[in-house]
Amino acid sequence: MGVLFSELRERLLRAGVAPRHVRRYLCELADHLADVAAEEERAGRGRAEAESAALLRLGAMDDLAKAMIEQRQFQSWTARAPWAAFGLAPLFFLATAWLAAFFILWSGWRIFLPGADTPFGGPNYGFANLYFQVGRAFYFGAPILIGWGIGVLAARQRRQPGWPILGAIPIALLAVTAQVRTSRTAVPGGLLGHVNLRFAFGSSAQPLSVGLYHTLLVFLLMVVIMLQPYFIWGSRRKFFAKLTLLGLFTGAAFRARPGS
Partner 1 sequence: MAPRATNPNFMNGVPELLVLRLLGQEEMYGYELVQAIHSRSGAVIAIGEGVVYPVLHALEREGALKSRRKTVQGRSRIYYSLTSQGSRRLADLSGAWMNLTAAIQTVLRGGQNGSAIL
In 3-state terms, the chain is what percent helix, strand and coil (to 5)? Answer: 70, 5, 25
Residues of this chain, 226-245, that bind partner 1 according to CB under 8 A: none
Residues of this chain, 119-148, that bind partner 1 according to CB under 8 A: none
Those residues with Cβ within 8 angstroms of residue 148's Cβ, 6 or more apart along the chain or in another chain: 226, 228, 229
Residue type, 258: P
Whole-number Å distance between alpha carbons of 62 and 64: 6
Residue 184 binds partner 1 (CB under 8 A): no
HSE-CB at 212 with a 13 A cutoff on CA atoms is 3
125, exposed or middle or buried, with CB in 10 Å at 0-12, 13-18, 19+? exposed
Whole-number Å distance between alpha carbons of 115 and 133: 20
Whole-number Å distance between alpha carbons of 67 and 38: 25
Question: Pattern of binders to partner 1 over 25-44, x per CB under 8 A?
Answer: x--xx-xx--xx--------
Question: Pattern of binders to partner 1 over 71-110, x per CB under 8 A?
Answer: x-xx------------------------------------
Residue 256 binds partner 1 (CB under 8 A): no
Rounded least distance, CB 129 to partner 1, Å: 48
Residue selected from 1, 13, 18, 64 as contacting partner 1 according to rule CB under 8 A: 64
Residue 53 binds partner 1 (CB under 8 A): yes
CB closer to partner 1 out of 5 and 163: 5
Beta bridge mates, 183: 194
Rounded least distance, CB 63 to partner 1, Å: 5
CB closer to partner 1 out of 56 and 210: 56
Residue 124: how many other CB atoms lie within 10 Å = 9
Cα-trace Rg, the chain: 26
CB closer to partner 1 out of 29 and 94: 29
Instruction: Find the helix or strand (DSSP H, E) in which 181 lies.
Output: strand 178-183
Residue 260 binds partner 1 (CB under 8 A): no
Rounded least distance, CB 172 to partner 1, Å: 37
Site residues, partner 1 (CB under 8 A)? 21, 24-25, 28-29, 31-32, 35-36, 49, 52-53, 56-60, 63-64, 67-68, 70-71, 73-74
